[in-house]
């Protein structure tokens, strides 16, 4: 006899439909993926191996998106999240996924991107190199002020009123730059982060000066940035305000922090009067200390100011830089070009293994930091050039002052290399290219173009951001 439910039609896959879904994998970018009758369904915050009751929130011809209604079966890879803000904060979306599973899926994302666009085989890609630390690994965190804290629906339903709390200071809720929740603990930077953020929030609320409102573009307090030297123990606090208040309030807050938190070795204040919500300011002044910290990385010392770029995970970056050095196979007589060199960290790590290193970087401030770091380490065989890379490379190619490179290092932003930069690389045709990338998709695109003259000899993924979907790669290319 046929059961009645066997004759029931499958639910229509339209927006608002509720269905049961098995999660098969984590897609590139971090969303979970399952399939219903062949239709791909993306679910934010789900894990492979879970069975869920979901509601479709978006339906397109070839895919759908859904939100979780109920967990029906837990994933074998689930692990309890450590942080009380998990789910409210977008900083660690994979904190409930076992770390070995994180490493697996990150390698899988690299493999899928490079197979599809660059034609690599799975066996060409090494296992993901784990971060030496899974928690408290970040050396920089940016915290945002907001007129009031953002509260989830359940807290609002319980009667909490965000307008009674006063100004908020914390991190952004996922998907919004205007929703800021009050952070009280964080397992990304260091154990004292929560106490320090709470203390600053309390003092700012008592200051009588309003925090910045992104809608009205009024208010005084905007950002708190904390930077740590993981290998030196030094800490820089950076307060960023508008010009719509009294700097004496910053001085008072600074005096309080100096007494309460001796771990802070220098405090900097700067002003950002622009509408763009970027945690940078102008007119930096050090309230105490030198206005910078130092860090040690791969045997070198680096000076890090409030606005400097530096790899966020110091100890994992050491492993990544070791791979760059190893794969470059320098013998001491080579000329090396370091594209997108930033403050010169890779260039300086290669300097004692090369005849000469030339760094190229868009930002003049980063070039100044690179020369300062050269002097700090007694390095005299590095030169750094500021300007748009596609123009700088063209000038360097035609200049008699620059010897053609034997090896080129590239470490572009997430958008990857400009097509004119790739064209210049193919024209220069160094013997070897070491490509460092923080985005497997744009890395695959760039590698596909470089394969006109180069073979891919090695691919090594590195996890610099545990509990997130981000993955770094180092790739060696050999000229045919």
- Annotated active-site positions, please? 438
Evaluate the CA torsion angle 112, 114, 119, 122 in order and state its sign. Answer: negative
Dist CA 194 CA 211 (whole Å):
19
Residue 384's H or E segment, with its range, is strand 382-386
Token couple for 47: 């894990």
β-strand pairing of 407-410 with 432-437 = parallel
Q: Which residues have C-beta within 8 Å of that of residue 464, sequence separation ≥ 6?
A: 131, 311, 312, 313, 316, 317, 320, 438, 470, 472
Look at phi and psi of residue 388 and say left if phi exceeds 0, alpha if psi is from -120 to 50, else beta. Answer: beta
Residue among 383, 317, 416 at smallest CA distance from 425:
416
Dist CA 430 CA 407 (whole Å):
6
User: HSE (CB half, 13 Å, CA atoms) of 57?
Assistant: 10
Dist CA 409 CA 431 (whole Å):
12
CB atoms within 10 A of CB 459: 22
Dist CA 334 CA 368 (whole Å):
24
For the chain, first and last CA: distance in Å? 69
Report yes or no: 457 and 126 within 8 Å, Cβ to Cβ: no
Residue among 36, 12, 11, 8 at smallest CA distance from 24:
36
DSSP string spanning 260-315? Answer: H-TT--EEEEEE--SSS--S--EEEEEEES-SEEEEEETTEEEEEETT----SBHH
Dist CA 140 CA 235 (whole Å):
10
Evaluate the CA torsion angle 268, 273, 277, 278 in order and state its sign. Answer: negative
Dist CA 119 CA 196 (whole Å):
49
């Amino acid at each position: 006899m046929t059961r009645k439910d066997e004759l029931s039609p499958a639910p229509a896959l339209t927006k608002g439909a509720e269905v049961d879904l098995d999660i098969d994998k984590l897609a590139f970018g971090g969303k979970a993926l399952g399939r219903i009758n062949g239709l791909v369904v993306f679910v934010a915050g789900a894990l492979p191996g879970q069975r869920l009751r979901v509601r479709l929130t978006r339906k397109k011809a070839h895919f759908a998106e859904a939100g979780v209604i109920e967990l029906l079966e837990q994933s074998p890879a689930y692990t309890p999240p450590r942080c009380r803000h998990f789910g409210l904060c977008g900083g660690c979306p994979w904190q409930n996924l076992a770390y070995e599973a994180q490493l697996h899926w990150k390698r899988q994302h690299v493999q899928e991107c490079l197979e599809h666009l660059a034609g690599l085989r799975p066996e060409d890609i090494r296992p993901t190199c784990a971060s030496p630390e899974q928690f408290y690994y970040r050396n920089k965190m940016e915290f945002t002020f907001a007129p009031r804290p953002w509260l989830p629906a359940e807290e609002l339903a319980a009667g909490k009123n965000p307008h009674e709390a006063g100004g908020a200071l914390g991190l952004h809720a996922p998907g919004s730059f205007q929703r800021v929740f009050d952070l009280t603990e964080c397992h990304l930077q260091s154990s004292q982060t929560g106490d320090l953020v709470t203390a600053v929030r309390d003092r700012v609320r008592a200051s009588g000066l309003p925090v910045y409102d992104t809608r009205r573009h009024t208010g005084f307090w905007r950002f708190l940035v904390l930077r740590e030297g993981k290998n030196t123990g030094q800490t820089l606090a950076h307060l960023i305000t508008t010009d719509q208040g009294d700097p004496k309030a910053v001085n008072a807050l600074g005096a309080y922090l100096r007494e309460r938190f001796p771990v802070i070795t220098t405090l900097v204040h700067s002003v950002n009067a622009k509408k763009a919500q970027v945690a940078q300011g102008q007119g930096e002044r050090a309230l105490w200390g030198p206005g910078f910290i130092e860090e040690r990385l791969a045997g070198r010392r680096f000076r890090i100011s409030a606005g400097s770029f530096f790899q966020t995970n110091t100890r994992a970056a050491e492993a990544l830089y070791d791979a760059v050095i190893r794969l470059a196979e320098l013998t001491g007589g080579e000329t090396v070009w370091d594209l997108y060199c930033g403050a010169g960290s890779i260039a300086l790590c290669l300097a004692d293994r090369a005849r000469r290193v030339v760094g190229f970087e868009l930002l003049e401030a980063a070039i100044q930091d690179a020369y300062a770091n050269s002097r700090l380490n007694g390095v005299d065989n590095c030169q750094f050039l500021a300007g748009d890379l596609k123009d700088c490379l063209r000038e360097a190619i035609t200049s008699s002052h620059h010897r053609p490179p034997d090896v080129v290092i590239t470490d572009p932003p997430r958008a990857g290399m400009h097509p004119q930069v790739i064209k210049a690389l193919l024209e220069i045709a160094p013997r070897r290219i070491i490509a460092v990338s923080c985005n497997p998709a744009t890395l695959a695109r760039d590698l596909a173009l470089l394969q006109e003259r180069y073979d891919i000899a090695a691919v090594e993924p590195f996890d610099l951001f545990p509990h997130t979907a981000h993955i770094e790669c180092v790739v060696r290319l050999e000229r045919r």
